[in-house]
Amino acid sequence: MPMKEVDCRGLACPGPVIACSRVVKQEAPSSLCVLVDNLAAVENVSRFLRTSGYAVTSERKEEALWQVCASRDGSSASEAAPQPHPDAIAPRGKTLVLITTETLGRGDDILGAKLMDNFLATLSELGDALWRIVLLNGGVRLAARPGKALDSLKALEAAGVSILVCGTCLDYYQLLEKRAVGQTTNMLDVVSSLALADKVIRP
């Protein structure tokens, strides 16, 4: 079967992942190449294809053009271990925490930053009930800025908590290459996660 080509240039998040998902579900190609025009799409498409059973490589072709190639026959140069996809069913009774700002509450940003540090450090008290943390908008800075918040997020991830960081938001704040915890994600994964969680906490 010839390699399937999927042109996702110009598609806003989560367009590239949705386009790839449709191709994989409808055609199940043994190999495909996807064209995207931003780094966030490279990470999201690559992660989706890996969790769909493909070995994936990516290459920058031009200033704003990347090619993501995937194969199920193991011929790709890079073979990444599959990771649980965010669309996987959440264990019953699990809690998702949605964070959209880098501070907690309104009034004073310095106080708000301290409160957020304390909030993240205290989340471990939820134990096994804590399933996933989703970082959107200004909240993505917490995954890239050194400090107590990042340390707490790393500890939670090491304990098994899934952390999803909005790729579009990272790109907007020019933090894609500075993300230090979690997985770059897209709005499709965010919506799916919210739908699957038994409880959502939004501080």
Closest CA to 49 of 65, 75, 77, 25: 25
According to the model, what pLDDT value does residue 64 have?
Answer: 84
According to the model, what pLDDT value does residue 86 have?
Answer: 52
According to the model, what pLDDT value does residue 76 have?
Answer: 41
Tens of pLDDT, residue by residue over 163-181, are 999 999 999 999 999 999 9
Q: Per-residue pLDDT for 1 more than 80? A: no
The answer to whether the peptide bond before residue 14 is cis (omega within 30 degrees of 0) is: yes
Separation between Cα atoms, residue 199 and residue 96, nearest integer Å: 6
Domain with CATH 3.40.1260.10 in the chain: 95-201
SS3 of residue 71 by DSSP: strand
Q: Which residue has the tokens 């938001």?
A: 169
Average pLDDT estimate for 14-33: 90
pLDDT, averaged across the chain: 88
What topology does CATH give the domain 4-71? Translation Initiation Factor IF3 (3.30.110)
Closest CA to 132 of 172, 104, 93: 93
According to the model, what pLDDT value does residue 90 have?
Answer: 55
Start-to-end C-alpha separation, the chain = 50
Domain with CATH 3.30.110.40 in the chain: 4-71
Integer Rg of the chain from CA: 18
- 95-201 in CATH: which number? 3.40.1260.10
According to the model, what pLDDT value does residue 78 have?
Answer: 41
Tens of pLDDT, residue by residue over 43-92, are 889 989 998 899 999 998 888 899 999 998 644 434 444 444 555 555 56
Tens of pLDDT, residue by residue over 103-152, are 999 899 999 999 999 999 999 999 999 999 999 999 999 999 999 999 99
